[in-house]
């Protein structure tokens, strides 16, 4: 029975791997009205009413099967909740690149914006700050990060793939790629209208301040600032930083270090919960005192499910790191929509809207859940039903009380294959 169930799950997933030729419904012979054509593709969608003889984009259709053939449970009215980073304009500099997804690109994402950035070995995202808080996850390589807080206390640390950091709004900071191949990372901001290309930059500020004011401020001569660049550096390459211990000693002199580290070594963290279906790491103010942005890193095994749930305290911004999955979001008024997700995609679910995420691939699905609030909260469907009087629930859904008594009293987060 277990093998049969698994085969049924795999039959749904095989659609993702089919060639565009197999998906070309327009190539199927047209049958008489009300008749079915022969199923040559194996995807089960052979009705004349499902064919698309006109223009189509087979590459996108192949990647988005739940939009081409939505589940019968979907109902119109739920706006799109997905935007691929691949659609974002990429600004390429000599020392790296960056691209962003904001509310201007993705209208539903009102409270959160995301940025991807790559820095070569020695590449520097110049000293800067911005109004919103910056939450970041290292997705490749290593970097040196620095910051100074409002009391002049310094911070410098090295972070590696899987680690993260949080810089509060208004805190000046920098990022530099280390060897051998620099780094790539994801930045998340608690402001949907954030713009990575309009931050407060050190070079830009000094260039727009009269030299005589600069010399008076630092009690030096105008000549000291003759080499200030005429335009922002933004992303630029320089020599690698000095040894970490040496730089820590330098920046901590006089005032000491920040009381709560801006870095969090998630790569060394044990999962918050593990089940047969996968695992989750939750990072919020409870274990990362510096943060005002909560997050979870979810890993789903093939066939695994991020259980039916919702988040009562804030909107959820998602980033898909690895694998292939699908998500259905339900809205009040009987609206529901299912969309497919791949590595590099952004998802967004408004506060308290129930949803699930299912791994459709044959490898692990890894994605982030990020919230513009210090505390992570969720409520699962199973948790709700298990802690509501069984007779009352059965009177709603007719499952029988025996089934309800067997539901776990604790949320599963990820459910078994």
Q: Where are the domains of the chain?
A: 2-68, 111-264, 271-415
Average of per-residue pLDDT across 250-256: 96
Question: Sorting pLDDT into bands at 50, 70 and 90, what band is 41?
Answer: very low
The pLDDT, as a whole number, for residue 45 is 76
pLDDT (tens digit per residue) in 280-325: 999 999 999 999 999 999 999 999 999 999 999 999 999 999 999 9
The pLDDT, as a whole number, for residue 417 is 57
pTM of structure = 0.88
The pLDDT, as a whole number, for residue 31 is 36
What number of other Cβ atoms are within 10 A of residue 332's Cβ? 8
Q: Specify the CATH architecture of the domain 271-415.
A: Sandwich (2.60)
Q: Which of 270, 284, 362 is nearest to 323 (CA)?
A: 362
With 0-12 / 13-18 / 19 or more C-beta atoms within 10 angstroms meaning exposed / middle / buried, residue 115 is buried
Question: Sorting pLDDT into bands at 50, 70 and 90, what band is 37?
Answer: very low
pLDDT (tens digit per residue) in 367-392: 999 999 999 999 999 999 999 999 99
The pLDDT, as a whole number, for residue 273 is 95
The single residue of 116, 307, 358, 369 carrying the catalytic annotation is: 369
The pLDDT, as a whole number, for residue 47 is 84
Average of per-residue pLDDT across 407-413: 88
The pLDDT, as a whole number, for residue 99 is 98
The pLDDT, as a whole number, for residue 34 is 38
CATH fold for the domain made of 111-264: Jelly Rolls (2.60.120)
Using CA atoms in the order 147, 347, 409, 388, what is the torsion angle rounded to 10 degrees? Answer: 120
CB 338 within 8 A of CB 396: no
The pLDDT, as a whole number, for residue 27 is 35
Tokens of 191: 């402001």
For the chain, state the CA radius of gyration: 25
Q: Which of 261, 257, 101 is nearest to 166 (CA)?
A: 261
Please state the residue numbers annotated as binding site.
128, 130, 134, 173, 309, 311, 316, 355
pLDDT (tens digit per residue) in 2-35: 444 444 444 444 444 433 333 333 333 333 333 4
Which of 6-10, 25-29, 79-83, 143-147 has the least mean pLDDT? 25-29
Q: Which of 205, 141, 190 is nearest to 293 (CA)?
A: 190
Active site residue 369: yes
């Amino acid at each position: 029975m277990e093998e049969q169930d698994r085969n049924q799950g795999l039959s749904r997933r095989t659609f993702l791997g089919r060639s565009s030729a197999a998906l070309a419904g327009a190539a199927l012979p047209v049958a008489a009205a009300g008749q079915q054509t022969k199923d040559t593709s194996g995807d089960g969608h052979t009705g004349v009413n499902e064919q698309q003889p006109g223009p189509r984009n087979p590459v996108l259709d192949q990647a988005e099967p739940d939009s081409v053939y939505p589940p019968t449970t979907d109902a119109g009215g739920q706006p799109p909740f997905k935007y691929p980073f691949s659609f974002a304009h990429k600004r390429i500099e000599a020392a790296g690149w960056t691209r962003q997804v904001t509310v201007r690109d993705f209208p539903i994402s009102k409270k959160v914006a995301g940025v991807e950035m790559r820095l070569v070995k020695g590449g520097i995202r110049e000293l800067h700050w911005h109004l919103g808080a910056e939450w970041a996850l290292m997705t490749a390589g290593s970097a040196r990060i620095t910051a100074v807080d409002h009391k002049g206390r310094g911070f410098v640390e090295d972070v590696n793939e899987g680690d993260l950091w949080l810089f509060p709004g208004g805190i000046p900071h920098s990022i530099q790629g280390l060897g051998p191949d620099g780094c790539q990372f994801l930045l998340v901001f608690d402001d949907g209208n954030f713009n990575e290309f309009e931050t407060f930059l050190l070079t830009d500020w000094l260039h727009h301040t009269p030299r005589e004011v600069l010399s008076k401020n630092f009690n030096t001569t105008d000549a000291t600032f003759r080499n200030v660049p005429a335009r922002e550096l933004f992303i630029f390459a320089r020599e690698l930083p000095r040894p970490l211990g040496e730089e820590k000693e330098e920046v901590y002199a006089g005032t000491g270090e920040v009381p709560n580290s801006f870095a969090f070594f998630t790569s060394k963290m044990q999962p918050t919960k593990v089940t047969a279906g996968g695992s989750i790491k939750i990072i919020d103010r409870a274990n990362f005192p510096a943060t005002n942005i909560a997050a979870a890193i979810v890993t789903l095994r093939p066939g695994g499910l991020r259980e039916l749930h919702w988040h009562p305290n804030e909107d959820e911004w998602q980033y898909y790191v690895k694998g292939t999955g699908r998500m259905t979001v339900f809205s009040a008024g009987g609206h529901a929509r299912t969309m497919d997700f791949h590595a590099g995609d952004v998802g967004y679910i408004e506060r308290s809207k129930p949803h699930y995420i299912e791994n459709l691939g044959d490898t692990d699905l890894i994605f982030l859940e990020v919230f513009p609030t210090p505390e992570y909260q969720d409520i699962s469907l199973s948790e709700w039903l298990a802690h509501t009087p069984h007779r009352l629930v059965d009177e709603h859904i007719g499952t029988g009380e025996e089934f309800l008594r067997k539901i776990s009293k604790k949320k599963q987060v990820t459910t078994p294959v």
